[in-house]
Amino acid sequence: AQKITQTQPGMFVQEKEAVTLDCTYDTSDQSYGLFWYKQPSSGEMIFLIYQGSYDEQNATEGRYSLNFQKARKSANLVISASQLGDSAMYFCAMREVRNYGGSQGNLIFGKGTKLSVKP
Amino acid sequence: KAGVTQTPRYLIKTRGQQVTLSCSPISGHRSVSWYQQTPGQGLQFLFEYFSETQRNKGNFPGRFSGRQFSNSRSEMNVSTLELGDSALYLCASSPGDRELHQPQHFGDGTRLSIL
């Protein structure tokens, strides 16, 4: 079973509108972290926002916010006031405590959503 | 602060050859992780190095190996290259403090093409 599921392979949004990118996850850990990354066509993965499993408030970072619903195991990314530069692949990722062992724990990524912003 | 630097950006090799990719982490970061990204499999974790020791490993064959130097720079080696090894190889660094909330910071990647 996939640990991270992003059901939207591609999304279109009009410039200046808000858009929600979906992410659901599967873990039996009580403590875990959720991350969103942006990957432009150049290839670099850019960290956007983090949500911890014990965080009571939804994370926000500028125009990015996370709609975190722990019971539903979902962590949807909301981008407000879309800009043309937001066109990119967006990846949801999870770090589980069980991955630690002797390490910090690697990230498990979803397949990504390609967002296209229309002028 | 300089970001994660990966060299080279592009590589073209033929089947059976071997290749070495390099990664310089953000200054002060001691953990370096490597990921393989392909259209079919997405992003998959290869391994993580911390203080010159491999401390986490993904599910890849032994042809994939790595090492880390005392200055935290890391290299990844792939021997006996196969067509399926064509991918974008991403390096990521983090402080390595075992903090759940620490993001990994990625380089631009090395795009490897096997002919």
CA atoms within 13 A on the CB side of B33: 25
Asked if B92 and A105 touch (Cβ cutoff 8 Å), the reply is: no
- Check if B106 contacts A (Cβ < 8 Å): yes
Asked if A117 and A82 touch (Cβ cutoff 8 Å), the reply is: yes
Q: CA nearest A91 in B: which residue?
A: B43
Pick the range with the lowest mean pLDDT from A15-24, A37-46, B95-104: B95-104
For residue A51, is pLDDT > 70? yes
Q: CA nearest A113 in B: which residue?
A: B42
Nearest beta carbon to residue B56 from set A47, A106, A110: A106
d(CA B60, nearest CA chain A) in Å: 14
The Cα B74–Cα B105 span in angstroms is: 14
At residue A31 the predicted structure's pLDDT band, cuts being 50, 70 and 90, is confident
pLDDT in tens, B41-84: 999 999 999 999 998 889 999 999 999 999 999 999 999 999 99
d(CA A30, nearest CA chain B) in Å: 12
Is B31–A100 a contact, with Cβ atoms under 8 angstroms apart? Answer: no
Pick the range with the lowest mean pLDDT from A32-46, A85-99, B22-36, B38-52: A85-99
Q: What is the pLDDT of residue B100?
A: 77
Which residues are CB-neighbours of A52 under 8 A, at least 6 positions away? A32, A33, A34, B100, B101
For residue B35, is pLDDT > 50? yes
